[in-house]
């Protein structure tokens, strides 16, 4: 089995050889580590994408807006992802972002996962009917875990989720009250025995 370090290094070098800058290649290397770690087909999709790059002209996107439609050619997932990370602090003010016709959308996914960590919010992403919940770059929950190449998608929807507790105030109060049973009333002996509170000097 290949190590994450090997996956990172070889992905980075292959991306650079395909004509991307070293900076972008570094990002792709990190992304492949994430995809393979989370059980998604990163290397398989990257390998096919880099082969297709030689013959296909994927469309590049600079400024991401609420609705983004590719013209004739599919959007490049790597350039799209790089710009998404760069602009995410502005994009998270939008309710929803739609991006149509993206090539190899699985390669876009880790950029969004890392963006979730940057803004400190969960992001819900939908690639056609495939759903992904990205949790601050710590985990990816999905209804799609197939080890296959996904060459294109019709539409990607992105929503930024507000940070809300999953419990109500009553549940919190009950738990807090239960935790109070561990509190120990402070006595003179505890004060004396506390850290840094000794009365004798052993030096």
Higher pLDDT, 71 or 22: 22
Let me know if residue 169 belongs to a domain. Answer: no
pTM for the structure as a whole? 0.83
Helix, strand, coil shares of the chain as percentages rounded to 5?
45, 15, 40
Mean pLDDT of the chain: 90
Token pair in block for residue 19: 């004509």
Let me know if residue 45 belongs to a domain. Answer: yes
Let me know if residue 168 belongs to a domain. Answer: no
Domain count for the chain, please give it.
1
Let me know if residue 186 belongs to a domain. Answer: no
Residue of 66, 99, 61, 106 whose CA lies nearest to 80: 61
Dist. CA 95–CA 71, nearest whole Å:
24
**Which domain covers residue 36, as residue numbers?**
4-160
Let me know if residue 172 belongs to a domain. Answer: no
Let me know if residue 139 belongs to a domain. Answer: yes
Is the pLDDT score of 197 beyond 60?
Answer: no
What's the pLDDT at 183?
A: 77
What's the pLDDT at 202?
A: 54
Dist. CA 140–CA 110, nearest whole Å:
9
Let me know if residue 174 belongs to a domain. Answer: no
Let me know if residue 189 belongs to a domain. Answer: no
């Amino acid at each position: 089995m290949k190590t994450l370090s090997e996956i990172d290094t070889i992905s980075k070098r292959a991306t650079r050889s395909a004509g991307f800058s070293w900076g972008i290649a570094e990002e792709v290397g990190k992304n492949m580590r994430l995809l393979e770690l989370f059980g998604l087909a990163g290397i398989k999709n990257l390998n096919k994408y880099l082969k297709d790059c030689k013959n296909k002209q994927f469309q590049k996107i600079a400024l991401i807006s609420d609705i983004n439609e590719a013209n004739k050619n599919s959007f490049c997932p790597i350039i799209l992802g790089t710009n998404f990370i760069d602009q995410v602090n502005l994009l998270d003010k939008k309710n929803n972002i739609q991006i149509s016709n993206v090539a190899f959308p699985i390669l876009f996914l880790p950029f969004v996962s890392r963006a979730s960590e940057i803004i400190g919010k969960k992001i819900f992403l939908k690639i056609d009917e495939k759903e992904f919940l990205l949790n601050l770059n710590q985990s990816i929950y999905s209804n799609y875990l197939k080890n296959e190449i996904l060459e294109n998608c019709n539409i990607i929807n992105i929503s930024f989720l507000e940070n809300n507790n999953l419990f109500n105030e009553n549940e919190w109060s009950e738990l807090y009250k239960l935790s109070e049973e561990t509190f120990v009333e402070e006595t003179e002996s505890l004060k004396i025995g506390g850290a840094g509170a000794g009365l004798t000097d052993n030096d």
